[in-house]
Structure 1
Amino acid sequence: MGGKLSRTVIMLFYLQLISCQFVWAQGENKIGTDTLNTVLFKVTSSHSNKVSYLFGTHHAFGKSFFDTLYNVHQALSASEVLIKENLNISGHLAEDIINRRTVKTKWSKYLKIDELTFVKNLFASSPTNFHKMTPTEMYVFLNRHFNQQVCLSKDQTDPSLTLDDYIALKAKEHNVKLFGLETTEEQIELINKDVEGMPRKVHKRRLSNIIAKIKSRNNNYCEETEWYKQMEIDYQFNLPCSNNLLLTDRNNKWMGDIVKLIESNNCFIAVGLSHLMYECGIIKQLQNQSYTISPVIVNQ
């Protein structure tokens, strides 16, 4: 795992020509079940000749995973626009936003002495001032660090922080234009607002638990990444979203841009898998607007 963090790892946050090559998981007309063995979907419409694709990401994954997905690569390279949750813009990266703050967190109120020492060592070579991170941001970072370094044994040479960021790198190689649905500032504000009012003791417990998991290097705690790798997803299309702030409201806000772009471009839409799921998800919302959504196997 290497006890310290590079600039790339610490960024913290924050998704026609080839159609005959695909093996379809379901028929062209509709999704017939909520459980599907894929995270890739073809989007078509009777009132447009454009073909787009939805890809549900898990942010902790990266290069080694994406490079195995032949059909996903083909869909991306045939697209004109990549739509992702946010774009990495110089001056507006998570580290830039955090470092500009004037308020510091008193970590002695949240971390035991040995836990604070662990965090200091982890951030020793980082360009981010972790003293200016909130407890929520620290937990999000440590959880992703656990998933990447313990569960996925992520290659230190992987140039991307997240699967979404690696997809953006591949898109640039194919001269695919990039479009961000929201800013990094908005994302950071949302993750903090989502747990607004959480008692300090809960923050302490969450941070202590995730640090213990990282130290243990025990992959028995990797159910989340294993579930995504297995790719047997119950999308629960008829269930309401349980988080209005992080799912329902964002999906509703994104739909205007998504529909406008897919009407005039062949798009590849890469967003967190949960944004495709449930009644408020992008899949159901596109279906409600008369788009045909067809599941696609990620490999031939």
Structure 2
Amino acid sequence: MKKLTIILILFSTFLFSQQSIFWKISKDDSESYILGTYHYLGKDFINENKIILEKLKQSKIALSENIDSANIFINKRDENLILKKLDKNEIETIKNIVPNYVDAKKMTLRELIITIDGKISSKFCLTEKEKSDNIKMDDYLKKYSLENNLKLVGLEPTKNTFDYINNSLYLGATDEKLLQILKTKIILLNSEKQNLNCSIINEYRTKKHLFNFTKERQEKLITARNKDWIDKIDNAIKQNKKVFIFVGLFHLDFKDGLLELLKKRDYKIEEIELK
């Protein structure tokens, strides 16, 4: 019994010590790396840890969630007529949060909701210094890859990402319900004082995340994308040996996260401590 207790303690310690946002992936003669990003933070966060850029530069290929622009397919759509139910101030808010190259009037309600969620998190959870960082973390890694002559590949077209959003977010909600959700979020974004829970970004700033590799994730949006990506990641490593992968942090977590999916394919996963 004593021996079993010691084993359980050691296992528990190992399980909960795996907290890094940056991991080494190896099998046979391959050595690759995967970084869990936080999309709203910028290049300064990456530059604080030179090992990230060093490992990226040493790679042969970089894999990102996607690399093409949303305007390619959004601007070809017809206008979303339900958006005419927004008032003048609400429309102005929408225009301010959507990039100029995308026609906001042609976006779906779900697309606008997830866009405004990002703006809310940035407004209330980022420091002023973080807000002034003019290039976001994922974009910076893409730019660095191209500047260092790495092949940059998207794990999915941006259109697929938006399809996942439209098929998974607020499943079953009517347009009227989604419109009300959007209006509520616009009010939240335009307010000045909010008790928003910023625990996720506060944790990320420590460059650690408490992973739970035994629990199944509930968000179908992330799980479905992970399952679509794992073959592409596996094949890229087999073909190139040195691959650098950077995707949103939550794609790494849980039983159906990328780290566990890689383990099932006999990859050795080792955390890299960041300062």
Check whether TM > 0.5.
yes
TM-score (norm 1): 0.77
TM-score, normalising length: structure 2: 0.83
SS at match of 1:86: coil
Q: Could you say if the C-alpha distance between residues 123 and 290 of structure 1 is closer, same or farther in structure 2, counting changes exceeding 3 Å?
A: closer
Counterpart of 2:40 in structure 1 is 60
What is the percent sequence identity of the aligned residues?
A: 26
Distance 1:232 1:220, change over 3 A: farther
CA-atom RMSD in angstroms: 2.4
Q: Paired residue for 2:73?
A: 97
The gaps in structure 2 that reach 5 residues or longer are: 1-12
Superposed, which structure 2 residues align to 1:7-156 within 5 Å? 32-34=14-16, 36-45=18-27, 47=28, 49-88=29-68, 93-109=69-85, 111-112=86-87, 114-120=89-95, 122=96, 126-152=100-126, 153=128, 154-155=130-131
Q: Which amino acid aligns with 1:128?
A: V
Asked if 1 retains the 8 angstrom alpha-carbon contact of 2:98 and 2:115, the reply is: no
Cα 1:132–1:280 shift into 2, 3 Å: same
Unaligned runs of 5+ in 1: 1-30
Q: What letter matches 2:244 in structure 1? A: F
Question: Which residue is equivalent to 1:191?
Answer: 165
| Deviation at residue 108 of structure 1 after TM alignment | 4.2
Q: CA deviation at 1:138?
A: 0.9
Given candidates 283, 286, 296, the residue that maps to 2:259 is 283
Q: Is the 8 A contact 1:105 1:133 kept in 2?
A: no
Q: Secondary structure at the match of 1:248?
A: helix
User: 1:149 offset after TM fit, Å?
Assistant: 4.4
1:235 to 201, 211, 224: 211
Contact 2:21 2:35 in 1 (8 A): yes
State the distance in 1 between where 2:179 and 2:17 align.
36
Q: CA deviation at 1:218?
A: 4.1
Where is the helix percentage greater, Structure 1 or Structure 2? 2
Question: Quick one: distance in 2 between partners of 1:202 and 1:58?
Answer: 29
Equivalent in 230, 235, 255 of residue 260 of structure 1: 235
Matched with 2:189 is 214
